[in-house]
């Protein structure tokens, strides 16, 4: 507790009306997770997290905004970023391939994540970018949103810190990308750190524990568990995200690979039992 108090004082935690936000004894909601490394923890993760019905996006992948996803326990966000010309100006937007279906400027889309981390000092969040813009564009969005202050720099091939170590250092954001990874120390090459199951399932019969992108030598496991038929399939979410279907498949892939699923990734996370499945994978 003394060490944590010193960290709070040293970092000058932002004050709110009730005073500085304290660092809790829990890490991502559980004391038991504090001494676990990142690669030993399961994170509830949303696929195309920015694409949501609450903000009026067409053919969304999620029901809720990023802010509300985080408030409901999501700790991993898959985000797509594209260049888009609006009013004659090309800028970086969070959108899913066709920006006319829904978009938000990159900095505006990142700001709710920063605000969540400001308010919740015991939480570690990850972003996994599918990026179609250069690294300086991403860095500019992080700086404009203020989210850059929380980013942790990890050297591939070295042991991951524990959640408590990230929280005490106030480096509570992990940022992965499939483009320009390593351009900044905090902007990590996802395929140097992780591997994944295939992501192009049309029906539940297409789900497999086979390896997709990445290397089995990498410590982090992205467990893709969603259906796509050009767009997401909302009427299947109640089945795909249900307990025991989700948890049984996660445990089957865990047994097949010998690896803990770290990013349990779904569409329509507000439907079904994602959080319960992640808690079970974490031993609760």
Tokens of 13: 């935690």
pLDDT of res. 18: 57
Q: pTM for the full model?
A: 0.93
Q: How far apart are CA 27 and CA 15, in angstroms?
A: 21
Mind listing the pLDDT tens digit of every residue in the chain (284 residues)? 434 444 444 444 444 455 688 999 999 999 999 999 999 999 999 999 999 999 999 999 999 999 999 999 999 999 999 999 988 999 999 999 999 999 999 999 999 999 999 999 999 999 999 999 999 999 999 999 999 999 999 999 999 999 999 999 999 999 999 999 999 999 999 999 999 999 999 999 999 999 999 999 999 999 999 999 999 999 999 999 999 999 999 999 999 999 999 999 999 999 999 999 999 999 99
pLDDT of res. 20: 80
Burial class (CB in 10 A: 0-12, 13-18, 19+), 211: middle
Sign of CA dihedral 128, 67, 33, 199: negative
pLDDT of res. 39: 98
pLDDT of res. 21: 87
CA atoms within 13 A on the CB side of 112: 17
Cα-Cα-Cα-Cα torsion 188, 194, 198, 203, nearest 10 degrees, comes to -90
Which of 202, 209, 200, 267 has the alpha carbon at shortest distance from 238?
267
Cα-Cα-Cα-Cα torsion 150, 199, 28, 129, nearest 10 degrees, comes to 10
Enumerate domains of the chain plus CATH numbers: 44-281 (3.20.20.190)
Q: How far apart are CA 125 and CA 118, in angstroms?
A: 12
- Cβ atoms of 262 and 39 within 8 Å: the answer is yes
Q: How far apart are CA 250 and CA 254, in angstroms?
A: 6
SS (H, E, C) the chain: CHHHHHHHHHHCCCEECCEECCCCCCECCEHHHCCCEHHHCCEEEECCCCCECCCCCCCCCECCCHHHHHHCCCCEEEEEEEEEEECCEEEEEECCCCHHHCCEEHHHHHHHHHHHHHHCCCCCEEEEEEECCCHHHHHHHHHHHCHHHHECCCCCCCCCCEHHHHHHHCCCEEEEECCCCCCCCCEEEHHHHEEECCCCECCHHHCCCCCCCECCCCCEEEEECCEEECEECHHHHHHHCCCCHHHHHHHHHHHHHCCCCCEEEECCCCCCCHHHHHHHHCCC
pLDDT of res. 12: 43
pLDDT of res. 229: 95
């Amino acid at each position: 507790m003394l060490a944590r108090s010193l960290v709070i004082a040293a970092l000058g935690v932002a004050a709110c009306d009730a005073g500085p936000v304290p660092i809790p004894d829990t890490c991502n909601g559980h004391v038991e997770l504090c001494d676990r490394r990142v690669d030993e923890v399961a994170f509830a993760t949303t696929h195309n997290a920015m694409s949501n019905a609450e903000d009026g996006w067409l053919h969304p992948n999620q029901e809720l905004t990023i802010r509300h996803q985080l408030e409901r326990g999501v700790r991993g966000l898959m985000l797509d970023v594209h260049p888009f010309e609006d009013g004659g100006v090309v800028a970086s937007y969070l959108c899913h391939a066709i920006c006319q279906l829904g978009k938000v400027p990159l900095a505006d889309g990142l700001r709710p994540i920063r605000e969540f981390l400001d308010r919740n000092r015991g939480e570690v969040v990850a972003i996994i970018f599918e990026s179609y813009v250069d690294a300086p564009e991403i860095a500019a969005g992080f700086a404009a949103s203020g989210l850059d202050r929380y980013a942790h720099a990890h050297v591939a091939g070295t042991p991951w810190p524990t959640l408590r170590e990230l929280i005490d250092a106030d480096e509570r954001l992990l940022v992965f990308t499939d483009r320009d990874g390593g351009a900044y120390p905090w902007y990590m090459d996802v395929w140097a750190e992780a591997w994944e199951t295939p992501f192009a399932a049309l029906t539940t019969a297409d789900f497999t524990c086979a390896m997709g992108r990445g290397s089995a030598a990498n410590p982090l496991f992205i467990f893709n568990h969603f259906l796509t038929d050009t767009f997401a399939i909302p009427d299947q979410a109640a089945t795909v995200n249900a307990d025991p279907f989700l948890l049984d498949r996660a445990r089957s892939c865990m047994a097949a690979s010998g690896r803990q699923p770290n990013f349990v990734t779904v569409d329509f996370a507000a439907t079904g039992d994602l959080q319960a499945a992640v808690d079970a994978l974490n031993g609760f």
